[in-house]
Structure 1
Amino acid sequence: MSAPVTVARATDATTGLPSVQPVDPDRDATVVQAWLAHPASAWWSMTEHDVHAVRGYLRSVQEDPAQAGWLLRWDGDPIAYAETYDPRQVLLTDVWDAEAGDVGMHLLVAPPPADGRVHGLTSAVMRAVVEHCRDALGARRVVVEPDVRNTAVQVKNAEVGFRALREVDVDGKRALLSVLDTDRIGVPDDDGPAAHLRPEHLEPAQRHLVAKAIAEFTHERLVAPRPDGDGWALDAGDSTYRFRARRYELEHWVVDESSLTRSRAGRSGPAPLDAQQLVLDLQDALGIPDEMLGTYLEEVASTLASAAAKHRRGGPSAAQLARGRADGDVVAAFQDAEAAMTEGHPAFVAANGRIGFGLDEYRRYAPESGGRFRYRWLAARREHTHLALAADRTEQQHWDAELDPATVDRFRDTLERRGLDPDDHTWFPVHPWQWQHRIAVTFAPDLGRQDLVDLGEGPDDHQPQQSVRTAFNRSVPGRSYVKTALTVQNMGFLRGMSPAYMRTAPAVNDWVAGLVEADPVLADAGFGVLREHAAVGYTGDVYHRIGSGPAQRGAPQRKMLAALWRESPVPRLEPGERPVTMAALLHRDARGRSVAAALVEQSGLDAASWVAQYLDAYLRPVVHCLTEHQLLFMPHGENLVLVLRDGVVSRVFMKDIGEEVVVVGDVAVPAGIERIVHPVGDDEAALGVFTDVFDGVLRYLAAVLDQDGVLPSAVFWRLVGSCVDAAGAGRARPLDLRVPDFEHSCLNRLQLRNTLQMVDLTAQTDSLIRAGRMANPIAH
């Protein structure tokens, strides 16, 4: 093996930059191979390549029009190898929304000589390469993707001006995607945990949230913009907001964000857009109680911070999300889309509260971070714990499926070393945030008396989902989702979980799944549910001994230790299928392009046919379940997993069954799950479709497709009407979903009334707030 080439004529490289020239595979293969063989170059994963293999590799790079290799010399000696590539065609095609003028870059610096490092050499090489990208290649931006573990190169990247965006899966590694604007070469980026809280990121977040607030508060008839020239104006306190907007069915407003301005009485010039100030000025109109105002404003602030972080990180393009991974990795594509969602909930203004997360915790646990974490595990005494299982699963089968034997052995060994009998305990996953901030403090006595025992970190990496309490197993994707109590304030609730609900969750899921699987109409539509097949709750704490009245039952401390396991869709996929969250249909990327339009284009179908197939897979089963089984789900974007084949929705999976399904008729259910039965009249039952589907999902999708010139909204709603007719005809409970109008049930009004607990989960219907009636877009 050739010895690494070293630089021996100088010890300081800070006085000039190396030269950059095209690599010559025949001439340079030997020296590059020597560098690659050195342990310091392990990040290239080519340490075993011989000279012949390296020569072939260099030649393949040089012969590819989308790539180029470069040798850097200093005082005539070769000191580094660099590669540049077009990220629109190479490596980053799944994760980076590349534009003209973007250049990707890799760098290999010669290992340090035996007699000492050359001071400043790596910095000089880095500077030379990025200036070469700018000056010789015309790069406007340079993008790199170092391994997340390679902290040394990340320091050098930051030194020359790269800013870290987000972690991505690329080329078989977990990488830190980073970008350099070439007009800022040499200006180190302030990549602190609050780097997103700068004007260039916060101002677009404010603009978007103010536009959304005006649109949704208008939709809920809390405010009424007035005509103003060729646009609209909204008066709020001493401010007036002017904007252009398009109006659609269901009183849906799409505000043109670029047109939005704010002026203040008695002051010249435009005023900055400020979502919190808008809420404050509209407090009376919005009906926010004084005692709730601070909490709501804090959730607005957190939503702004989240949006600013998303703006800074960027994300895949709509076309990338619609296409999926070039390598066919359906799991990675599924989770790419999950992390890419920017809107939170399409209706709620304060949609990303997460009050309780710090800056570092946001990066680790927020769904849009795309991060990974491992659950903490506890052992809980069986006498204080209830493990509920689906009828087709024993406890041993459950743990065999969810934990490897080595982990179970470790858990048992931990208990035995404490003098405890492992058979007297059951295992219990808890979110690491919950462990640190709640369990180790609020349940300190339980830990002290060993009713709870810390077992340490689990072995599997999990990725947070849009439902912030739920995570997907990235280590073993066929294993279950895990959902745990997470006592942060988010979108009108502390996100705890009730052990009482956990006792019956698997039984509820078994019953619903049995109905679905036995129904030939649902089978024909490919409709399925992802069962919550195991759940656990701990009740040995003092908080479960303080009484049984409504106030005690609702105490947040009684909802801090519970978890459930939900089926993953991955084992149920067929070849050629891939899953994606239904929320993606409403998503627009950083340049305003929609995933829905990209899917229609990818499919090759005309838009009407594409929409008809989507409605057949989604709306038809929902209506059928209501009219045939008197069963209502909560079928909004994050609760549906679409199964795509060639860009077309072929079938769907419904999830979040245990807490949100309801039977709206006098239907016999198995003993023990009577809590899901809430008979209501026909008008109330129909609201399950009108509010949750028409108003909660389809009004947005109709506007997206119309705005993008894909399908006129009138045609969209005609297709909805046809689907409803086909789904509801001749059913056990015929409901007229073609009525002229229906009650306008409002979501933001719930949160504005009580941002701490906007709905009583034991009496959800009684908690609803209506704002008159709304015209039905599919009325006869």
Structure 2
Amino acid sequence: MSSHERVHSPATFVETTRVDPPFASTDIWRHHARIERRVIGQLLQTLLYEDVLSYTAAPNPADARAGATRFSLTLGSRRYQVDGWRCHSFQLIRLDHATLRVCKAQGDAESISLQRFMTDLEETVTDTAIQAGFVNELVQTLIKDTQSSACTGNSGAEPHALEADALENYFTDAHSYHPCYKSRLGFSLRDNWCYGPEFANPLNVFWLAVPAHLAQAGAVDGQKVAERALHEAGADVLARLEKYLERRQCLRDDVVLVPVHPWQWENALVHVLYPELASGEIAFLGEGNSVYTPQQSIRTLAPLERDKPYLKLALSITNTSSTRILARHTVTNGPIITQWLQQLVASDEVATSAGFVLLGEVAGAALDERAFPAARYNEIYGKVGAIWRQNISHFLDERERAVPFNGLSQFVRNAEGDPSTPFISPWIDRYGLETWVRQLIYVSTLPIIHLLFAEGVGMESHGQNIVVIHRDGWPTRVALKDFHDGVRFSTAHLARPELAPDLEPVPPRHAALNRNSFLVTDDVTAVRDYSCDAFFFIALGEMAIFLHRHFGFEEPRFWSITAEVVKQYQRDNPQHEERYRCFDIFAPEWEVEALTRRRLFGDDRPQVKSVPNPMAAYAPGGETSC
């Protein structure tokens, strides 16, 4: 195989060797105008929806479809106009970025410019200064997505033949709401090429030997972190480990092996850990043998060998305005929560008969910031952490395939890398639009509402945290993932409180910086809204809008089907009647996070928005109580 030859198999889609990243070529800039419109349009639609900007709206004379709207507003000295939709789903606003137009006050048209838009925005939003960091995130999103759009290497693949892990590289649209959807602050363009999921470049992780008193590790019953690490690291790393043990005169049980992302090692760790590296207390053991490709979340890596687990690593970059480190307490809690959830599912007839799949976080290891001097707390906190997650391939029968849920609302790309037809079109043609939609809603909704109603557990199951399992495009069930900081519950309202997990507490400094980062609460509404925000508002909401725009499937029909799935579950399981009132999914409104307002105005007070519930019209009746 030549150095530039690709591996084109259903299971993998990676380069065998890295080549120069596509940012020197002039061809990259042909995508710039389209991406700049998307960044501005995506920011604008959040500002409109989150009530930051005032606007006028009128029916779009060029589009007779329900909800088609022309939005107009004045920012600074310019007038902006864009076509879009006032959606039935949560009254969301979606804009057609290609239609964005801007004029001076005198009426002369101008070219679209992110820099001018931000200047106009700052002149308009006078009650707060727009942070330079936010502007940089937007600019970096524009640059990184332009670079990504120039990568057409996998556009020749038949996406429906790809395995789930390869589809993580194929689907490149990223977050459809957050304006900083691809900022990846900390990555240079070369880093983006090496470690961005769109480019599917293979990578090997590095390994550190850390004295046990400086680390914290844990695993589900029957597994040991040390055994997991030894299996993944390979012979070369183990040979260096033996020399380290001999030099330090210690046993293997005295040491924790921790994998680190190569970018993290080079950019965030050497200058932090140099005292321990220089003294030999912590040893760099080099590159491991296992080969990975990055998934959509970037810090989660998929192994090329399907018998191995996924590996989630601390990464000190910022994407969608969140720093992607891994806090020690969340790494520790991953296996604890996994064991608890899998115990609930395994002992539940509904869950077992429906084939619920939880991609368990079976082991984790991290530096313990408490073991270092207090002056080094911030530089150590969250910088070294790893979570091993079960591989989806272990749960599929020979006829089943899998696809990320958020990929269902994306497009197949042509040879130039531009979107052409919806990914799900062949499946809808085969099974019929409503038949297929009804089945998707059923299999994806069932585990979310069952864990909420039958157990009292809210799940942060947005489109990236759900994997749809199918046979020839027919959805059969879903797999849920990302539990270390992706569940919420009230112990008093659990169906089986005696099984409640004994979690590693949230450090006070972490809680002070991120008020939304908590697992346990006394507020049952917060538990309900946790599931509703992630699953109904984000995952299903995006799907409902996509189906309406590209297949003509009416949004009210989508939500009536969803409501009927919930009501049928409630009729079939009357034993949970009290919980149906407690966790009232049919409430008129839910609270969801206002992502852009939070970025603009900070976390001094919660940035949330009450949104109308599209299922409220189909409520079965009864009072909400708990």
Tell me the TM-score normalized by structure 1.
Answer: 0.69
Secondary structure class of the residue paired with 1:779: helix
Give the Å deviation of 1:344: 1.8
Q: Does 1:524 align with 2:372?
A: no
2:320 pairs, out of 476, 491, 497, with 491
CA distance in 2, matches of 1:441, 1:684: 40
Distance 1:173 1:519, change over 3 A: closer
Q: Give CA deviations for 1:399-444 in whole Å, capped at 9, x if unaligned.
A: 465344x346423344257455352322110000111112111110
Give the Å deviation of 1:177: 12
Give the Å deviation of 1:597: 3.3
Among the aligned pairs, what percent are the same residue? 21
Distance 1:427 1:573, change over 3 A: same
Distance 1:629 1:199, change over 3 A: same
Match of residue 579 from structure 1: 402
Distance 1:417 1:686, change over 3 A: closer
Contact 1:276 1:300 survives alignment (8 Å): no
Match of residue 693 from structure 1: 535
CA distance in 1, matches of 2:127, 2:181: 16
Match of residue 374 from structure 1: 204
One-letter amino acid of the structure 2 residue matched with residue 528 of structure 1: V
Q: Does 1:724 align with 2:550?
A: no
CA distance in 2, matches of 1:295, 1:637: 27
Give the Å deviation of 1:248: 1.4
Contact 2:367 2:380 survives alignment (8 Å): no
Secondary structure class of the residue paired with 1:243: strand
Contact 2:451 2:457 survives alignment (8 Å): yes
Contact 2:144 2:189 survives alignment (8 Å): no
Q: Does 1:324 align with 2:161?
A: yes
Gaps of 5+ in 1: 1-42, 44-146, 151-166, 179-189, 326-332, 759-765
Q: Give CA deviations for 1:599-633 in whole Å, capped at 9, x if unaligned.
A: 323xx212222122212221121011111211011
Contact 2:28 2:147 survives alignment (8 Å): no
Distance 1:565 1:208, change over 3 A: same
One-letter amino acid of the structure 2 residue matched with residue 562 of structure 1: G
One-letter amino acid of the structure 1 residue matched with residue 449 of structure 2: V
Match of residue 5 from structure 1: none
One-letter amino acid of the structure 2 residue matched with residue 234 of structure 1: L
1:253 pairs, out of 93, 98, 104, with 93
One-letter amino acid of the structure 2 residue matched with residue 595 of structure 1: F
Greater RCO (CA < 8 Å, at least 6 residues apart)? 2
One-letter amino acid of the structure 2 residue matched with residue 733 of structure 1: R
Distance 1:493 1:271, change over 3 A: same
One-letter amino acid of the structure 1 residue matched with residue 142 of structure 2: L
Match of residue 36 from structure 2: 206
Match of residue 733 from structure 1: 579
Give the Å deviation of 1:472: 0.7
Matches for 1:13-32 after TM superposition, within 5 Å: none
One-letter amino acid of the structure 2 residue matched with residue 597 of structure 1: S
Matches for 1:103-182 after TM superposition, within 5 Å: 147-149=2-4, 169=8
Give the Å deviation of 1:315: 6.5
Match of residue 238 from structure 1: 77
Distance 1:243 1:770, change over 3 A: same
Q: Does 1:596 align with 2:424?
A: yes
2:142 pairs, out of 289, 293, 304, with 304
Give the Å deviation of 1:284: 6.9
2:451 pairs, out of 620, 625, 631, with 625
One-letter amino acid of the structure 2 residue matched with residue 631 of structure 1: V
Contact 2:458 2:487 survives alignment (8 Å): yes
Q: Does 1:294 align with 2:132?
A: yes
Give the Å deviation of 1:454: 0.7
CA distance in 1, matches of 2:519, 2:185: 33
Contact 1:527 1:617 survives alignment (8 Å): no
Give the Å deviation of 1:592: 4.5
CA distance in 2, matches of 1:680, 1:173: 46
Q: Give CA deviations for 1:657-701 in whole Å, capped at 9, x if unaligned.
A: 011211135143133457665334454333224322222122211
CA distance in 2, matches of 1:287, 1:316: 45
CA distance in 1, matches of 2:299, 2:41: 28
Distance 1:429 1:271, change over 3 A: same
Contact 2:232 2:289 survives alignment (8 Å): no
Matches for 1:449-468 after TM superposition, within 5 Å: 449-468=279-298
Secondary structure class of the residue paired with 1:338: helix
Matches for 1:371-520 after TM superposition, within 5 Å: 371-395=201-225, 397-399=227-229, 401-404=231-234, 406-407=235-236, 409-415=238-244, 418=247, 420-421=249-250, 423=252, 424-474=254-304, 476-520=305-349
CA distance in 2, matches of 1:191, 1:416: 40
Gaps of 5+ in 2: 62-69, 413-417, 507-517, 619-626
Cα-Cα RMSD? 3.0
CA distance in 2, matches of 1:296, 1:219: 19
Distance 1:545 1:465, change over 3 A: same
Q: Does 1:714 align with 2:556?
A: yes
Distance 1:149 1:288, change over 3 A: farther
Matches for 1:19-58 after TM superposition, within 5 Å: 43=1
Larger Rg: 1
Distance 1:685 1:502, change over 3 A: closer
CA distance in 2, matches of 1:567, 1:700: 27
Q: Does 1:346 align with 2:176?
A: yes
Tell me the TM-score normalized by structure 2.
Answer: 0.84
CA distance in 2, matches of 1:706, 1:148: 45
Q: Give CA deviations for 1:91-130 in whole Å, capped at 9, x if unaligned.
A: xxxxxxxxxxxxxxxxxxxxxxxxxxxxxxxxxxxxxxxx
Secondary structure class of the residue paired with 1:733: helix
